[in-house]
Chain A
Amino acid sequence: MSVYPRSSEPFLFVHKEPVQGQCPECGSYNLRRYPVLSEGGWWLVTKCQDCLFSLERERWGRLGSIQLLSETL
């Protein structure tokens, strides 16, 4: 197992990266890209922040960002 140190910040946040484009469902320009956990595990989604419509959903790491050292063999 790789090593993930404890954060020096007391509270943690998911960074939602702004993305160019328009929501096909509600017309909003407020689109963001970030990992979510749902049916099927972790997904990297591009999502409308107004109506929660997903423009894109691609598989993220099976264990989130945890990497198994053995996978590097």
Chain B
Amino acid sequence: MVRVEPPVLIKDLDEDAFRARYQCDRFTATVLSSRLRYIVQHMCTGLLTNAFSVILRDWYDFASTIAGPPELDYPTPAVSNSLVLFLGTMTDAVRNAVEEFGPQNLQPGDVLMCNDPYRIGTHVNDVCFIRPVFFEGRLVGFVNLQAHMLDMGGVVPAGFSGTKRNVYENGLVIGPQLLYHDDRPVKSAWSLIFDNARFGNLLLPDIKTIYQNLRLGENLLLETIQRYGVESYLGAVRYACDLSAETMRQALARLPDGEFEGEDFIDCDGVDDSEEYHVKVKVRIRGDRAEVDLSGSSRQARTSINGGWLDAKTAVAVALKYLLDPRSPFTSGTLRNVDIVLPEGTFFSAMPPDGAIFLYWESTQPLLLAIFRALKEALGPNAVGGDYCSLNIHNANGVRNGVPWVTMAQCGGEHGPWGATKDGDADSYMVFYLANNLDPATEAIEADFPCVVLRKEYATDTAGAGRHRGGAAVVKDTLWLTEAEHYSMPLHTKAPSGFGVYGGKDGAVGAVWVWEPEAYEQVQQAGLVGFDEAVYRQATPVAGVLNPESHTLDRQGRYFHFARVPIWRTRPRTMFRYLTNGGGGWGNPLERPPERVLRDVRDEYISIETARELYGVVIQGDPQHDPEGLQIDYEATQALRNAAASQRH
């Protein structure tokens, strides 16, 4: 047997060894890797501040990376601080697109584009724009922007739906081809988009802006190479990737050896609710090596709720990064010591043409949560609670004054809570773990679309209890003022996604309802719709596990299938309500200081009843009408907590 010595840590390399490996000194390598991250961030800022379409301007639905040259195998030393879903896919996206096109066919002034989920990940609306960078005639790397286009054709305006059955319904697929050649637009490529996609008048300026920001990135990169030399630059590219490979390797080694299993699932697909889709994950740790085996997971769905193999890869990388190695930058080196055993044809590795991919994050976010669940015991106090998981996305379109409009991811349950950690309570208004975006402003939504956002607030008694409380579910009510078509896509309502850790409790599950105009007029008070049973009785369930009579949340109730009405065609003054899942708690709720429980009651995160039942804290007063007059009954609290503690033992 050979004893393999652990490699010398980068920080332990002496000056000569460092220079021999990276062709520059340590200080230069550090400066250059920071500089590469500055460049991608600058490219993103340029796009954010100049974009017209709401999904770029108000959601930050794009990302930027730099990739090294083909002879280094396209490493990604720098990713932007933006949409996480793209950061993992873009390394392979650039490699796969450039290799198929042929790196030898690229010239200075080219921009290559590709949007095929089976080649580059995510969905067809996300076009990856790739700018080869040449220095003194040599291809030294790529600057890249992947950005969500408002529309990419297909049967659903804006594309967001869980009901499309194959790639042909899904939208235009673009294999790798040139969008610019010699810095001139390739008209046939632009026409391909404009002839197949809606809202070309918005796509045109946005793509031009993307092109300008690729040029910005190229110029900044060339200035950098000019100043520091091409060998230093290439050394820094490898240094940045090696460093994150090393920190992940060390993080894996800190885990105990073993096999850790986790599972999560989504409710169903867009055909019917006959089949749930389960992720099964087994994480095997041996020293500083890991294997993440997804065998035993469900086959692909029959409609566009699927994700692709690169989305699965991203979810694994991000899960491990969150849990084990959050402090070093994310690069393509992150997965160096990790192998993913991924059956092809699952609902997160769907195959063409019938494994339609659109709501890919709905499939890969449960994958991330399954890894969080698998490792929670091994991590002990470092475990992280589950989040609200499903984006509960709402997509609507119509025509106002003869002009078509489309809104996406603005008026559903797209923002919600995270799970708690050892560091504190969780935030309640975030994007799910695999994203990192903005919250579209209510004023902008109401200016752009015929709707009024009536509520955007936290729901009481939905947060997972814990010494550190999970985030509270978000409730969002939107009144639609004109006729419209809606697609609603909540996919994780059958069981909590916000699982508790380290003794913490699970968060609640959510649901979606619609009040038709007559029902809305009947239940509204000063425009607002309340939360009483009488109010829900007038609602039509969209999705969730609900009491069939009263339509209130009821774990013993019946599941209402989200796509039993594939398109909600509504009349003016119809209201949709989205309630997200709650986030998981961390630690034993009986150990939460009573003063913090009091504050949660005052702020209506929890009720007086929940304070007593889950936290063992007795509070007296009226949180609605006299929040500052609330008082803790310390004696009763101590008695209750003692009784609860003795019951546990």
Q: Residues on A close to B: CB < 8 A?
A: 1-7, 9-14, 16, 24-27, 34, 36-41, 43, 45, 47, 50-53, 62-66, 68, 70
Q: Is the CB of A37 within 8 A of B340?
A: yes
In the complex where A9-B299, A12-B295, A52-B286 touch, is A66 in contact with B351 (Cβ < 8 A)?
yes
Q: Is the CB of A14 within 8 A of B339?
A: no
For A65, list chain B residues within 8 Å (CB): 344
In the complex where A7-B299, A14-B295, A66-B118 touch, is A36 in contact with B340 (Cβ < 8 A)?
yes
B43 lies within 8 A of chain A by Cβ: no
Instruction: Count residues on chain B whose CB falls below 8 Å from chain A CBs.
Output: 55
B468 lies within 8 A of chain A by Cβ: no
B554 lies within 8 A of chain A by Cβ: no
Give chain B nearest CB distance to A69 CB in angstroms.
Answer: 11
For A39, list chain B residues within 8 Å (CB): 245, 332-336
Count A/B pairs, Cβ under 8 Å. 120
A6–B284 Cα distance when bound, in Å, is 29
A50–B285 Cα distance when bound, in Å, is 10
Give chain A nearest CB distance to B465 CB in angstroms.
Answer: 34
In the complex, which of the residues B119, B275, B338, B343 contacts A63, with contact meaning CB atoms closer than 8 Å? B119
Q: Is the CB of B1 within 8 A of A11?
A: no
Chain A residue nearest in CB terms to B331: A39
For A5, list chain B residues within 8 Å (CB): 354
In the complex, which of the residues A3, A24, A52, A63 contacts B1, with contact meaning CB atoms closer than 8 Å? A24
B46 lies within 8 A of chain A by Cβ: no
A6–B312 Cα distance when bound, in Å, is 18
Q: Residues on B close to A: CB < 8 A?
A: 1-2, 4, 73, 92, 95-96, 99-100, 118-119, 167, 173, 175, 245, 275, 278, 280, 284, 286-287, 289-291, 293, 295-300, 302, 309, 312-313, 332-336, 338-346, 349, 351-355
For A64, list chain B residues within 8 Å (CB): 309, 344, 349
Interface centre among A1, A34, A37, A62, by most B CB within 10 Å? Answer: A37
A36–B291 Cα distance when bound, in Å, is 9
A14–B100 Cα distance when bound, in Å, is 27
Q: Is the CB of A51 within 8 A of B295?
A: no
Give chain B nearest CB distance to A18 CB in angstroms.
Answer: 15
A37–B312 Cα distance when bound, in Å, is 10
A19–B386 Cα distance when bound, in Å, is 39
Q: Is the CB of B353 within 8 A of A1?
A: yes
Q: Is the CB of B299 within 8 A of A38?
A: no
For B353, list chain A residues within 8 Å (CB): 1, 3
Q: Is the CB of B342 within 8 A of A14?
A: yes
Give chain B nearest CB distance to A72 CB in angstroms.
Answer: 13
For A7, list chain B residues within 8 Å (CB): 299-300, 345
